[in-house]
A and B are shown apart, each in its own frame.
Chain A
Amino acid sequence: MKIINCLVVAILFLGSCKNDPNIKLPILGHQDIVGTDTILHKIPPFVFIDQNENKVDNNTLKNNIYVSDFFFMSCPSICPKVKKQMLRIYDKYEDNDFIKIVSHTIDPKRDTPERLKMYAENLSVNHDKWIFLSGNKDSLLDMAEEYFVAAYEDADAPGGFDHSGKILLVDTNGHIRAFCDGTDPGDVDDFLVDIDFLLKEYEIQ
């Protein structure tokens, strides 16, 4: 009976494309094998603070899927473009409380919660839905690595930091399920499709 089920699933898998609800987004990142277990990459425990000075940690987001990026306010190059694309994502899912947006600053010294709050207000976004995190700089830069976003200080870089414009999609278990280049509107189009995929996964459960 099990074999027949496997065959059916395999045939369904081979026979259909993106319209198949059984196809799920992969869990991205490196895997560790410990004994007979495969440990998949997960966002590690963190504690940061949002623009309204609320403490935000893994528990805060455990009932949401969220879209995340790393930026800093004095960034003159890619950040405006990425934020514009993030706004597209925000607008599309504005009424869906299940999905949140989480932006991390990599320059917490200048980007204090107070300034991040004004930044959020300038973007005219709901503060519960789009949270802007700051905290300890090293923790934030380390966290960027966990999201596979390159971010580091470089005095010669415009604004003093160099970082990529990747946008990531994280599920309720802290697994990264999709990503895109936030400076490329076409890539973000595909990312929006990925988000819909992940949302479907939760509908079926």
Chain B
Amino acid sequence: MDCHMEDGSGVEQLYPSILNYSDNDNLPCLIRNGINTSKSIVEMVGFPKMTDVEVNNIINYVSNDLQNVKHHQLINETISALEKCK
């Protein structure tokens, strides 16, 4: 939470708020690989060493704890998403 802040509110457009992010299909790849587009002035780092279970935990944490949106991301959903992004 160093970048998006502990409460997910972020820092202006630099480290955008993740409180409204809802594209859960994209999320596993985003977390594992980060983003490096010409749109973002700061590159979002990925976490290649993070396990599938850890990625899954983050997705659940962001939805349920930060966004207060009830969501149960299943590990096999995360794993199949991750296989597609490689």
Contacts and interface: CB of A to CB of B under 8 A. Distances in A.
Interface of A: 73-74, 76-78, 80-81, 83-84, 87, 115, 118-119, 121-124
Interface of B: 2-5, 11-15, 41-43, 45
Ordered nearest first, which 7 A-B pairs have the shortest CB separation?
Answer: A122-B14, A122-B13, A118-B41, A80-B3, A84-B11, A123-B12, A80-B15
Contact of A76 (B14, B41, B45): B45
Contacts of B12: 87, 122-124
What does DSSP make chain B's interface, helix, strand, loop or mixed? loop
A73 B42 contact: yes
A73 B3 contact: no
A34 B14 CA distance: 48
A119 B11 contact: no
Given A80-B14, A119-B14, A74 B43 contact: yes
A127 to B, nearest CB: 15
A81 B2 contact: yes
Contacts of B45: 76
A87 B5 CA distance: 13
A84 B3 CA distance: 10
Given A73-B42, A118-B41, A121-B13, 19 more contacts: A74-B42, A74-B43, A76-B45, A77-B2, A80-B2, A80-B5, A80-B11, A80-B14, A81-B2, A81-B5, A83-B14, A87-B11, A115-B41, A119-B42, A122-B14, A122-B42, A123-B12, A124-B12, A124-B13
B11 A83 contact: yes
29 contacts: A73-B41, A76-B2, A76-B3, A77-B2, A78-B2, A80-B2, A80-B3, A80-B4, A80-B5, A80-B11, A81-B2, A81-B5, A83-B11, A84-B5, A84-B11, A87-B12, A115-B41, A118-B41, A119-B41, A119-B42, A121-B13, A122-B12, A122-B13, A122-B14, A122-B41, A123-B12, A123-B14, A124-B12, A124-B13
